[in-house]
Chains A and B, each alone.
Chain A
Amino acid sequence: MANWLDVASVLGIMAVAVALLMIGGHFDLSAGVMTGTTALTVAVVAVELQQNIWVAIAAALVLALGIGAFNGWLVTRTGLPSFIITLGTFLMLQGLNLGLTKAFTGTVQVRGLADAPGYHSAELVLASTVEVFGQPFRIAVLWWLLVTALAAWVLLRTRFGNWVFATGGDEVASRNVGVPARRTTIVLFMTTATAAWLVGSITAVRLTSVQANTGTGQELIYIVAAVIGGCLLTGGYGSAVGAALGALIFGMTQQGIVYLNWDADWFYFFLGAMLLLAVLTNRLVRRYAEAAPR
């Protein structure tokens, strides 16, 4: 149980943030590679530049917020689909991750994070294991629950949450009634970047060495988890708790196939089938809500 929860937790943190962004009407294809960028930043600043690991984590946060703000600014400024804009930042970051890692270390990974000053406190916060009812749990599970609870609260109980639904539902209409749609969009991109920073820091501290290709290819998994959790691809509808459940289903399927001794190749078949099923269900929801008696 601890095992599939562990898979689900790291994925879940991202899926929840990506769900908020999707409800707000946008995609972030750079979310996966950004977990790698932040993990590498933590490792490079701590190991190669020999800083305290907390300084490295703070530097990675600043970088992530910068990338998120850049994504959001470009999307709101140009009005181009976020799919294309973040595909661009995705590819750029992928190149930067490889190029800079090689430039710093001469290899495609950064290792030796365990010897950095401050590692033990960072491990305690981001990568320790807690025993609950005799079962060992990674502390990432706690972060996942916290992120989900916070996101659900913001979405359903705050003004900002109302603006997220509205911006994703109909941006022009929401702007006409005074919703700061541009600011909302930029904050949402910065939120996925912050989630990527959290996951990147957890990954770096847990593994103590970071591969240059960390996180690449994960961005679609986040979107799949959010959609399984009920997010509409067209924006304006979805939930944070749903996305967390989507990640949970993902983790259970992935580990379940291993436990059943099935060929792991089948995993993607099930993932695809679940995605299709989820999209078809979502379509019914939207029809119900929009097929108005005129």
Chain B
Amino acid sequence: MSAAADRPAVPGDAPLLELRGIGKDFGSVIALDGISTSVRAGQVTCVLGDNGAGKSTLIKVLSGVHRPTRGQLLLDGEPVDFDAPRGALDAGIATVYQDLAMIPLMSIWRNFFLGSEPTTGWGPFRRFDRATAKDVTRRELAAMGIDIRDADQPVGTLSGGERQSVAIARAVHFGARVLILDEPTSALGVKQAAVVLRYIAQARDQGLGVVFITHNPHHAHPVGDRFLLLNRGRSLGDFAKAEVTREQLTDMMAGGDELSRLAEELGRPGAP
């Protein structure tokens, strides 16, 4: 990550994506409040938080599912306002959801181009260009270093890590500039998680801005350049990598006080 300085800066040095005081209410419930951070090209911004911290709501704001109630979203320094996921996609913000990325019974190449199928022919004979689709799928996966035995196999036969990797390769192919990854490592074992982290680093090295959402500081710290900590919809801080250690992250995540109180509570009752 020391290579960060070598990477080209965005013109005018505005971050790719910037959040300024983002807040979201659902009726009288404040789901998010005062969230600020930035995502730069070729860097990974990690969003850390426990269950119910507001991570999902934040993803939905970034990917255009929800409109923020307060605050501003800036893309290349310009304020933007998405009213549908399509808007965010068209602006180059791609979201890879944890479980919802792929259709298990469909082949890899069909999944890869789902919703953006290349066509050939004209008029009533316009059809799905299957040869191109298979070809591009194979090439893009190879470029990411993903070794797929057969692009025709159903996605359901892939492991969880491979599925995430295909989804990431797909987002990169369709011109994503910002890649939002929703808990890509949470359901995976140690080895599989390492594979996905490597693809995250690869996407970053290709110049994408990555938003990596996780509740695991051990996954976040090695790959992250910036860390946003959430708790109950509020920001506990937005740190650059130099400002925080893995231990501090873990501590803040777990809520150090809460943990020591828990330890006390769970301890055996003292001798009478």
Contacts and interface: CB of A to CB of B under 8 A. Distances in A.
Interface of A: 153, 157-159, 161-163, 165-166, 169-170, 172-174, 176-179, 232, 236-237, 286, 288-294
A286 B157 CA distance: 11
Interface in B128-152: 128, 130
Contacts of B101: 173
Interface in B95-138: 95, 97, 100-106, 110, 113-117, 119, 126-128, 130
A290 B95 contact: no
Nearest to B167: A177
Interface of B: 85-86, 89, 95, 97, 100-106, 110, 113-117, 119, 126-128, 130, 154, 156-160, 187-189, 192
Contacts of B157: 288-289, 292-293
Contacts, number: 88
Nearest to B113: A162
Contact of B110 (A162, A173, A294): A162
Given A166-B106, A173-B103, A236-B105, A179 B114 contact: yes
Given A237-B105, A289-B154, A292-B157, A162 B116 contact: no
19 contacts: A159-B117, A162-B110, A162-B117, A166-B106, A166-B110, A169-B103, A169-B106, A170-B100, A170-B103, A170-B104, A176-B85, A176-B97, A177-B116, A178-B115, A179-B115, A288-B157, A289-B105, A291-B156, A294-B160
B104 A292 contact: yes
Contacts of A293: 157, 159
A158 B126 contact: yes
B100 A176 contact: yes
Contacts of A286: 105
A166 B155 CA distance: 12
A122 B192 CA distance: 64
Given A174-B103, A236-B103, A294-B160, 6 more contacts: A163-B115, A177-B116, A178-B89, A178-B116, A289-B105, A293-B157
Nearest to A232: B105
B153 to A, nearest CB: 9
A290 B156 contact: yes
A174 B159 CA distance: 20
Contact of A169 (B105, B158, B187, B189): B105
